[in-house]
Structure 1
Amino acid sequence: MTTITGIAAAPAHRDPQVLRWLGAYTASTLGDSVYYLALSWTAVSSGTPAQAGLVMTVSAVPRALLMLGGGVVADRLGPRRVVIASDTVRCLVVLGLAATLFLASPGLWALAAVGLVFGVVDALFLPAVGALPARVTARDQLARVQGMRGLAQRMGAVLGAPLGGLAVAVGGTASAFGVAGALFALSVPLLAALRLRPLPREDEQRDGTALRDLADGLRYVRGHRTLGPLMIVVLLSDLGFVGPLNVGLAVLSEQRGWGASGIGWVLSGFGVGAGGASLLLTVKGHMPRTGVVMGWTMVLGAVSIGALAHIPRLPFAALAALSVGLLAGLSGALCNALVQTECDPAYLGRVSAVASLGSLGLAPLTYPVTGVALGAWGTGPVFVVSAAVCALAGVYALAVRAVRRAELPEG
């Protein structure tokens, strides 16, 4: 294993550069979890449920509208610069909100304003985060880095909510927002210490406009024999998966009489499975016949999704969720790693934006559709249809020769 200069490089899990990146990403992910818990608690405490829902969703609109533009910014300015600026802005805004809540009761308008800022910043942050791994490690370590990123995401989900809840219990919502701001602040010096790998054509001047860069990136994705189909795979899997996980589980738990704790057990099963998939990829670092494994894990994961709505007992439902997490986590990590290795690094910001737009911009639009369908037909048919969409993603991946034959470099 060598770097682009021919000098031997350490494996990702022993590379100080990667570990700095991982520490910064983990701190930022924890900050996100604490922030969203504090925001939802403050919104519910300060207004009606409908008003709280509006506050929680106000960031989705600018994030969806500006995501593709954020990819252009990441490629033009460099991902590290964009991520540092994003976390700095989030830190200052959240600490400002904490100070405001400590001194006064500003009302829901302040929460909505902060949510709006977060939506704009996320549109810049997410594509840049997707483009950064290729700048801190060798190409043959990107699969392992995606596994490490998945572990950081699981840690943020598992530890962030209890940390935020503890902060609210001890010092109120102002304290929780202060903790979130401190975590965002922690990521900044770690990111600033990174030494980025140079990219081919990095010194070329960009003479075109941002709009031309965006059009160029979309043409690149559409014309690439592997990335174009991979974007369709990502979109289909997100459309099939996001609705049942975020809306259907609550309805399923209520119908089965599992209660709120039942949702927790099912989500815990999913989290353990997804964490196991990330750990496997982190340790192994390479998956032979990557495209085939990715496609089949999507198909098998879809079977587990469909079965989840037909399991009456909570322990078995949690086991099914563990299977969903393991298979979906592995297929998602492999898909992300293929995007990293197949993409020309000069386009990674824009390609990451296209991939993120599906999961964070379009897939949430299925929430109301899923809710209406659940009310009309019940959980069984809705979960089966969702499973069919996820299975279609896997079948499509297996049917497209370039994706089926895609391989991660062996480290």
Structure 2
Amino acid sequence: MSGKVEAGASGGAETASAEEGAAEVVFPPLSRDRRVQGWIVSNAVSQTGDVAWYIGLAWSAAQVTTPAGAGLVMGIGALPKALTLLYGGALADRIDARRTMIVANLGRILVLSLAAAFIGMWGVSLPLLLVVAVVFGAVDAIYGPAAGTLPRRMVQRDDLVKLAAGNQLANRLAVFVGAPLGGLVVAHGGLASVMVVDAVSFAVIAVGLVAVVKPRLPQPPASGASVLTDLREGFGYLRRSVSARTLVIAFFGLNLCVGPVLAVGLVQRTHSAGWGAGSLGLFQACSGVAAAVGALLAMRWKPRNLARTGLLVLILQAAGCAAIGYVPRGGVFAAMATIGFTAGLASAQLSAAFQQTIDPAYLGRTSSITSLSDEALMPVAMTTFGFLISLTSIGIACLAIGAVFALLMVWSAARLNAAG
């Protein structure tokens, strides 16, 4: 994919203007780019706090309610987040993204601080956890799409893969640190302490946005008369642009195929084979280490066509998903290593291709639409996959979803190649 987007006349003019602006800006090497380094570090700190927060929330919910209630606490935040995401995307394209992210971070800090104060006075309760999950999810949906517009405005096109790979590495490290940190903090200080840790992480990224992370390129203004008009124009853009629409469809398929296999299929296979919970943790750790290796390779490998290469690499990931249902324990390690490695490599390539392909004026809206697969459709995909296992077997379900995944990646790569 050449990076050209088949947008309307105004979209093409905005893209050309952005490229002209990029030519006039001096971009330092990433190794000396303090703005980019600050962005990666602050994101990692925030991710560490998020992982710790979700560990603390899950543990606290398990202590104060039934398993069904705990599931409700962990899942209820997805609904307001999904409903708010499209609005957040339109807002990100309409208002300065950096300012939006700062305000959203302050909102997340306020929610967590108030909740910690309530816990200090009245203790942890199911109603409080539900309210916090709902409000926090809605505020979080304002932040995400705005963050999705920043890479294109901070670095030159050739550095987008390295930036995405750097974020991948930082986020993997954050998960390794955040999970045990969350368990340690909630065990010794309770949920309020975890909330404070997460609030501090948001404060770090807010300070970073104010003092260090400053975009080098201007943000193209949205052309609609209202947020609702901007939303309609965002979907209209996807109808006009074959490349943008194909990438969004591919991302939907990636999320909805891999997520159920790892969250449901792997757990069921490990349980049915009698390998124990320890093996499940080792499988996940193997995937995480391999993903870091894949991200490192992405920093050095520069294929001519990022999008097509990334999509074709994911065919190997589809094979790994299919194998989980059949291979012995050692084979599952190999399958998880394949899934992790291809995730680290292809995610960096496809994230950069997404930034290069989408018209800058529509980045926020397109990012929010892509995120809907995780927030709104993932619960449906998980449930459907579970039913498929019940009706057939773990092996058949994994094979079926792996085949669908592979076919979708081949179709997407061919469609992008035809679009030029």
Establish whether TM, by shorter chain, passes 0.5: yes
Tell me the distance in 2 between the aligned counterparts of 1:320 and 1:201.
43
What is the deviation of 1:7? Answer: 4.8
Residues 224, 402 of structure 1: alpha-carbon distance in 2 compared, 3 angstrom cutoff: farther
Q: Which residue in 2 is equivalent to 1:135? A: 153
Question: How many residues in Structure 1 have an aligned counterpart in Structure 2?
Answer: 401
User: Is this contact kept in 2: 1:298–1:328, CA < 8 A?
Assistant: yes
The structure 1 segments of at least 4 consecutive aligned residues displaced by more than 4 Å after TM superposition are none
Pairing 1:248–2:265 present: yes
Q: Which residue in 2 is equivalent to 1:199? A: 218
What is the deviation of 1:67? Answer: 1.3
Q: Which residue in 2 is equivalent to 1:337? A: 352
User: Is this contact kept in 2: 1:64–1:362, CA < 8 A?
Assistant: no
What is the deviation of 1:390? Answer: 1.4
Q: Which residue in 2 is equivalent to 1:408? A: none
Q: Which residue in 2 is equivalent to 1:114? A: 132
Q: Which runs of 5+ in 1 are unaligned?
A: 406-411
Query: Deviations 1:323-380 (Å, cap 9, x if unpaired)?
Result: 1111133222222211101112111101111111123321332111112222221210
Pairing 1:230–2:270 present: no
Tell me the distance in 2 between the aligned counterparts of 1:154 and 1:309.
25
Q: Which residue in 1 is equivalent to 2:318? A: 302
Select which of 366, 391, 412 maps to 1:351.
366
Residues 404, 37 of structure 1: alpha-carbon distance in 2 compared, 3 angstrom cutoff: farther
Q: Which residue in 2 is equivalent to 1:221? A: 238
Tell me the distance in 2 between the aligned counterparts of 1:292 and 1:5.
26
User: Is this contact kept in 2: 1:34–1:176, CA < 8 A?
Assistant: yes
What is the deviation of 1:132? Answer: 1.4
What is the deviation of 1:4? Answer: 2.1
Bigger drift between 394-403 and 68-77 goes to 394-403
Bigger drift between 289-298 and 218-227 goes to 289-298
Tell me the distance in 1 between the aligned counterparts of 2:226 and 2:77.
27
Q: Which runs of 5+ in 2 are unaligned?
A: 1-19
Tell me the distance in 2 between the aligned counterparts of 1:207 and 1:60.
28
**1:17-96 matches, cutoff 5 A:** 17-96=35-114
Tell me the distance in 2 between the aligned counterparts of 1:147 and 1:182.
25
Tell me the distance in 1 between the aligned counterparts of 2:58 and 2:50.
12
Q: What one-letter code is carried by the residue in structure 2 that aligns with 1:220? A: Y
Q: Which residue in 1 is equivalent to 2:165? A: 147
Q: Which residue in 1 is equivalent to 2:175? A: 157
RMSD: 2.1
What is the deviation of 1:285? Answer: 6.6
TM-score normalised to the size of structure 2? 0.90
Q: Which residue in 2 is equivalent to 1:97? A: 115
User: Is this contact kept in 1: 2:317–2:339, CA < 8 A?
Assistant: yes
What is the deviation of 1:184? Answer: 1.4
- The share of aligned pairs that are identical, in percent, is 34
Tell me the distance in 1 between the aligned counterparts of 2:46 and 2:291.
19
Select which of 367, 389, 398 maps to 2:413.
398
Q: Which residue in 1 is equivalent to 2:4? A: none
Q: What one-letter code is carried by the residue in structure 2 that aligns with 1:377? A: T
Q: Which residue in 1 is equivalent to 2:399? A: 384
Q: What one-letter code is carried by the residue in structure 1 that aligns with 2:397? A: V
User: Is this contact kept in 1: 2:111–2:132, CA < 8 A?
Assistant: yes
Pairing 1:320–2:335 present: yes
User: Is this contact kept in 1: 2:113–2:199, CA < 8 A?
Assistant: yes
Q: Which residue in 1 is equivalent to 2:190? A: 172
What is the deviation of 1:3? Answer: 7.4
Residues 390, 51 of structure 1: alpha-carbon distance in 2 compared, 3 angstrom cutoff: same
Tell me the distance in 1 between the aligned counterparts of 2:409 and 2:144.
25
Residue 242 of structure 2 aligns to a residue whose secondary structure is coil
Tell me the distance in 2 between the aligned counterparts of 1:245 and 1:67.
25
What is the deviation of 1:295? Answer: 2.5
Tell me the distance in 2 between the aligned counterparts of 1:286 and 1:241.
25
Tell me the distance in 1 between the aligned counterparts of 2:52 and 2:179.
6
Tell me the distance in 2 between the aligned counterparts of 1:179 and 1:401.
43
Q: Which residue in 2 is equivalent to 1:409? A: none
Q: What one-letter code is carried by the residue in structure 2 that aligns with 1:362? A: L
Bigger drift between 366-375 and 31-40 goes to 366-375
Bigger drift between 291-300 and 49-58 goes to 291-300
Tell me the distance in 2 between the aligned counterparts of 1:109 and 1:7.
51
User: Is this contact kept in 2: 1:296–1:394, CA < 8 A?
Assistant: yes
Tell me the distance in 2 between the aligned counterparts of 1:303 and 1:276.
19
Tell me the distance in 2 between the aligned counterparts of 1:195 and 1:33.
26
Q: What one-letter code is carried by the residue in structure 1 that aligns with 2:65? A: G
What is the deviation of 1:110? Answer: 0.7
Residues 113, 230 of structure 1: alpha-carbon distance in 2 compared, 3 angstrom cutoff: same
User: Is this contact kept in 1: 2:162–2:348, CA < 8 A?
Assistant: no
What is the deviation of 1:404? Answer: 8.0
Q: What one-letter code is carried by the residue in structure 1 that aligns with 2:316? A: L
Residues 310, 327 of structure 1: alpha-carbon distance in 2 compared, 3 angstrom cutoff: same
What is the deviation of 1:208? Answer: 0.9
What is the deviation of 1:121? Answer: 1.4
What is the deviation of 1:397? Answer: 2.2
Pairing 1:4–2:22 present: yes
Tell me the distance in 2 between the aligned counterparts of 1:44 and 1:135.
43
TM-score normalised to the size of structure 1? 0.92
Tell me the distance in 1 between the aligned counterparts of 2:408 and 2:170.
26
User: Is this contact kept in 2: 1:226–1:402, CA < 8 A?
Assistant: no
